[in-house]
Structure 1
């Protein structure tokens, strides 16, 4: 009996132990390696918590990934590349994801654009969102819609508790935010997302509103809280528009990010209770580099470092805005209880208070504090601009270098401050007694190499002129056409002495320079209506050539150089020096350069050239007449040139509309000689220069003889126009018209002679 009982007990214990072993047996995660979209869909139906779907190395074309699954906190479901960076999603590809505890890793999007409104979306439908999910080490590289003003996002974050980290986003060229946190549903509000260690690489100037790099919320949901944290990211030359980061929700934290030579500002546009702390802004003297702009209630801006920023107005190094009384949700709410503490402003050219003050924006800042800040400027320059009553800002215990004048009378101790750069790369007072002002020495800017994937190189966005090989050609049949066909990006085609007859339009989709071996001893003739066409990917430099139109087709409206006639997505550059342009007169309206619609130049530079006998215009940058704030070139600079017998305008530059989100166009016209220009009967402008809506114009030290007037038409954005030291001989005085602002014009006219 005893033996039987013992046997039964042993048997029972054995079964229990075996059962326990079965219960604790670890689940073995599985890798599902897939090589086709259909195989991906099949694997997705079978994956379990802890599994990975592995996309095989190679190029996946037109692959719309819908990643919908449910992992667990300890066993997420992963979608990853077989090898980081070797899975290329191109064409019409995108990624949508929803569910819980998902991870996406190691993919590259390039050579195409999204077929939907987002490249990466943390939702698969309007009701299916991602939660507790992560996208890491993913690349989106120049993946832009070819229609520049067809808007999309590169990343749309929905749901809650998601993370976007160590990714690389560079070269967004079409309209739309690079990364947007969406709050347009209850499930996406109070989301506690984390956006960290990403490399936001160069985003070129859009030439329009709609070029933000990061946006959190929209005005419609701006009174909701997002609780998004944006930290340890590197914003490198993010130049899309005046807002680099646009915060349009409440209770977000923006901290420990670096902004390198980025045009625009971190803008607290809508929403309350946001914290901006520990960020570093390096402007390095680049045009329009800005810092922080404050709007709304309860904003905390502390321990930020700002150096070498040149921006002004809404793009200033630091701005506190005026608001609209009883503002509608999409306008400007009054600044109340702003806390501005222990920031360092080093050579920041413009610090503006009560900015935007006008009949609508009349609500001045209230109950706000600026204390413990360090302000250092060069040569006693005063950075402050005060546009309204700032008694609602309490200034106390700040220190600043002496200035020639100041609009801030209290709360700043003016004294000499010597600076020394510390090991963290930031400048601090050499006097230890002053270290209590400005940022902490514990601030360590994120290093660029610690952002983005380690396996994807950070490269320059544009190929520099003259950076490739020098290819010498002689004046033989088709030598120039053949050289263009065979040249590589950055090459210099050097022309020997002689005459080059070209019978094809030279279409440029790469950066090329054309240089005479001996100045103006290489002459280019052509029999088409156009010699050069700058297409997507193309930029052009001409040095020392003679461009002669005498053999071109006998038809009206010829153009020596043009862009693609419509819809370029890439930003181009055009430079010409030491050259002669002549005989563009075989028929009427023969223009030198004509921009197509929706083409955009970052810079057009002419120096030390001669233009003779031209029946049309020199520069036609006037195609964006739909008045949407769009324009054709950011910088137009003409210096030291000679213009003679030009029947059309030397420059017709047009930027219409009321939008205030851009910086340009900039027009510089200095030390030029102009004789008999703009007087042709077909010149409808009746002007030698017409600038409509330019934000910056400098027309200085030129001779205008027997020519049509210079005409400036001011629109919006407080344009800065200077006309100085010119001689107008047989030429009417300049005409400046204010089209939107009542009262006298705001241009500065100094030391001009009208004879």
Structure 2
């Protein structure tokens, strides 16, 4: 630790000297457009400085190359930090020696290639001894959700990426990657520090990592990258928030705030993970550290309020594949998971992933001198295989907690207080016993990222804007939507009738509600009443949708998502809604979610829906079987569904990918009468769930309906069915018996 601190201080001193040299250079040249830029960057010399004039630079592909020196780097910067906005189809590639890039903002566009900022200009021409600092990339996302790109690709050796802000990546692809494609980019000694990795929405598929170092092709090669003093804020793309895929890397003094996933040592040996803070705050799917491979060291880390299960637990040690190929799972050998603090976190998973392929348990490993205190799950340890290859000693558990491990644990009272730094801590006596030291964040949110760029959330809450009363009539609701802003509330007249002659397009979060009393009736002359477009989100309350005016088409719906790719997740909340007579033709659905659209949350509660020729929720359009799906969290609660010919809900997640958490589905307190029995209904189910990762069905009744059908896939799905009644309804059908059912009554 002392050596690393000295190294860090020396690095700061050297870089400060470089900044001083660069900004006192007399060789500065201001450029106003891409033509002047291209002319200025020819034949760059040590000490040269190119200054981009303030303003918007649209559709520019910047290429910057030269050979500076340690004392006189070549600099590319903004006239004023944060005032040069690079937009449209644009990117930046640079190469050479001692290059410094600073103060630019990438916004309102996307890269035309595979990388936004690249530390190379060709396969052979790489950047070495160079730096990117005080740069912002904000929602510079390809509009095609499934099209992958990288925001930052580090190549070469001895480069530094510091004090940058990367937020709101919305399409597939790693936010930042250390690339090791050639020998010239291995053993690189890069430093990634003091960056703000801001919110990243759930991707709903693999390919949503925030930081990846290496790939499976270079699993046995050394990167030697240092990742320190970064703040990762709700970076929820997939369950590998950081994917370590090379050897010799160090993760030191980073903060993970409410991140839905883990720091995963997916490939590579000799990784060090030390003094990182994981603050889950009891948010869903928040995770800690996952160990795979040999000679991994995890020590002096702090974890609070982590709820993730199995691969996403607070502390996870995996099973491996004997004689594993590089792209699978090297067995855990000589791993250390010592001197960590785990407070109010639910799961510690040992030998996780054990199956016919991953059959080799850890060997020569330690889990020692850890403090594990919690009251939310009193059985936090799950053992999936033989743990005799892990040495347990000096660990502390609170008295209420049980463990299947016979030795190495001492019971202690649950004594947790909030210290002066706002963190939940055990007693000082326990801290002294494991030698942890002061419990304090190593870096704060204010200390990281670009100095000029605010850390504000892009998500706008429902009912945070103005409230407008909408008169009944033809297209009055359309006019109100056209004049609305994000967060607005549109209040319809009780008992009024609202006819739509055009699609009601939703482009931002908006609430359409009525006060308690007679529900206003909404009718439409278009195939879809409402279309949620990119950026849209919808809240509906105390309304009545009726199909009396709908056109005689097959495939109508009340709500549809955009027919083109949506790279911004939407939400749909439906409360106390009445839906009637969607039966002018076949397959008239309530919600139809198209492919390449994704919902963070869909909730239907306390609603009545009847006489429907199609389905209530069509969430099965992602059929590539690559682990992609349409909704993260789905809730059906307190509803009555009557005479629905299709499924009330069909949710599909195909394939065998293990990189995501969802879908997560709750079905509770519902009544299903004559549902799922239409003559053209293909699945023959009232509810069909394929590949759902967490499913809870409870306190519900089926009457004269098609059966509930389940298709359980990999990922150790949790499926619980409790206290349900099936009257004149077929038995539950499933492809295997991997679900728990209790109090299921057939009448």
Same fold (TM over 0.5): yes
Distance between the aligned counterparts of 1:266 and 1:466, measured in 2?
A: 36
Q: After TM superposition, give the deviation of residue 428 of structure 1 in Å.
A: 2.7
Alignment counterpart, residue 232 of structure 1, candidates 226, 229, 234: 229
Q: After TM superposition, give the deviation of residue 546 of structure 1 in Å.
A: 0.9
Q: After TM superposition, give the deviation of residue 380 of structure 1 in Å.
A: 7.0
Residue in structure 2 matched with residue 635 of structure 1 by the alignment = 633
CA gap of 1:143–1:732, structure 2 versus 1, over 3 A, is: same
Residue in structure 2 matched with residue 754 of structure 1 by the alignment = 746
Q: Is the 8 A contact 1:519 1:545 kept in 2?
A: no
Q: For each residue in 1:626-679, what CA deviation from the matched residue of structure 2 results, as whole angstroms up to 9, or x when unmatched?
A: 111111111110101111111111001111111111111111110011111111
Q: After TM superposition, give the deviation of residue 222 of structure 1 in Å.
A: 1.6
Q: After TM superposition, give the deviation of residue 723 of structure 1 in Å.
A: 0.9
Residue in structure 2 matched with residue 357 of structure 1 by the alignment = 354
Alignment counterpart, residue 76 of structure 1, candidates 63, 73, 77: 73
Alignment counterpart, residue 310 of structure 2, candidates 293, 309, 313: 313
Q: After TM superposition, give the deviation of residue 440 of structure 1 in Å.
A: 2.0
Q: Is the 8 A contact 2:425 2:439 kept in 1?
A: no
Moved more, 456-465 or 55-64: 456-465
Residue 715 (structure 2) pairs with residue 723 (structure 1): no
Residue in structure 2 matched with residue 282 of structure 1 by the alignment = 279
Q: Is the 8 A contact 1:244 1:266 kept in 2?
A: yes
Q: After TM superposition, give the deviation of residue 442 of structure 1 in Å.
A: 6.0
CA gap of 1:165–1:520, structure 2 versus 1, over 3 A, is: farther
Q: Is the 8 A contact 2:161 2:193 kept in 1?
A: yes
Residue 653 (structure 2) pairs with residue 688 (structure 1): no
Alignment counterpart, residue 531 of structure 1, candidates 529, 532, 553: 529
Distance between the aligned counterparts of 2:353 and 2:516, measured in 1?
A: 54
Larger radius of gyration: 1
Alignment counterpart, residue 267 of structure 1, candidates 264, 267, 283: 264
SS at match of 1:725: strand
- Counterparts of residues 8-47 of structure 1 (less than 5 Å): 29-45=26-42, 47=44
SS at match of 2:478: helix
Residue in structure 1 matched with residue 579 of structure 2 by the alignment = 581
- Counterparts of residues 132-171 of structure 1 (less than 5 Å): 132-171=129-168
Alignment counterpart, residue 737 of structure 1, candidates 731, 735, 746: 735
Q: Is the 8 A contact 1:380 1:403 kept in 2?
A: no
Residue in structure 2 matched with residue 470 of structure 1 by the alignment = 467
Q: Is the 8 A contact 1:513 1:540 kept in 2?
A: yes
CA gap of 1:433–1:586, structure 2 versus 1, over 3 A, is: closer
Q: After TM superposition, give the deviation of residue 372 of structure 1 in Å.
A: 1.6
SS at match of 2:482: helix
Alignment counterpart, residue 374 of structure 2, candidates 374, 377, 380: 377
Residue in structure 2 matched with residue 669 of structure 1 by the alignment = 667
Distance between the aligned counterparts of 2:741 and 2:653, measured in 1?
A: 22
Q: Is the 8 A contact 2:25 2:49 kept in 1?
A: no
Distance between the aligned counterparts of 2:377 and 2:90, measured in 1?
A: 55
Normalised by the size of structure 1, how large is the TM-score?
A: 0.94
Distance between the aligned counterparts of 1:588 and 1:128, measured in 2?
A: 60
Distance between the aligned counterparts of 1:164 and 1:516, measured in 2?
A: 51
Q: After TM superposition, give the deviation of residue 404 of structure 1 in Å.
A: 5.0
Alignment counterpart, residue 406 of structure 1, candidates 403, 407, 415: 403
Question: What is the RMSD computed on CA atoms of the aligned residues?
Answer: 1.4
Q: After TM superposition, give the deviation of residue 450 of structure 1 in Å.
A: 0.8
CA gap of 1:33–1:550, structure 2 versus 1, over 3 A, is: same
Moved more, 725-734 or 610-619: 725-734
Normalised by the size of structure 2, how large is the TM-score?
A: 0.95
Distance between the aligned counterparts of 2:169 and 2:483, measured in 1?
A: 29
Distance between the aligned counterparts of 2:691 and 2:25, measured in 1?
A: 66
Residue in structure 1 matched with residue 598 of structure 2 by the alignment = 600
Distance between the aligned counterparts of 1:504 and 1:583, measured in 2?
A: 20
Aligned residues: 724
Distance between the aligned counterparts of 1:275 and 1:539, measured in 2?
A: 42
Q: For each residue in 1:70-120, what CA deviation from the matched residue of structure 2 results, as whole angstroms up to 9, or x when unmatched?
A: 211111111111111111111110000101111111111111110111000
Residue in structure 2 matched with residue 10 of structure 1 by the alignment = none
Q: For each residue in 1:382-435, what CA deviation from the matched residue of structure 2 results, as whole angstroms up to 9, or x when unmatched?
A: 210111111111111111112453111111111213122222333332352553
Q: Is the 8 A contact 1:428 1:435 kept in 2?
A: no
Q: Is the 8 A contact 1:278 1:443 kept in 2?
A: no
Unaligned runs of 5+ in 2: 1-22
Residue in structure 1 matched with residue 12 of structure 2 by the alignment = none
Q: After TM superposition, give the deviation of residue 27 of structure 1 in Å.
A: 9.6
Distance between the aligned counterparts of 2:85 and 2:28, measured in 1?
A: 20
Q: For each residue in 1:475-531, what CA deviation from the matched residue of structure 2 results, as whole angstroms up to 9, or x when unmatched?
A: 134321111101001101111131111101011111111011344431111111111
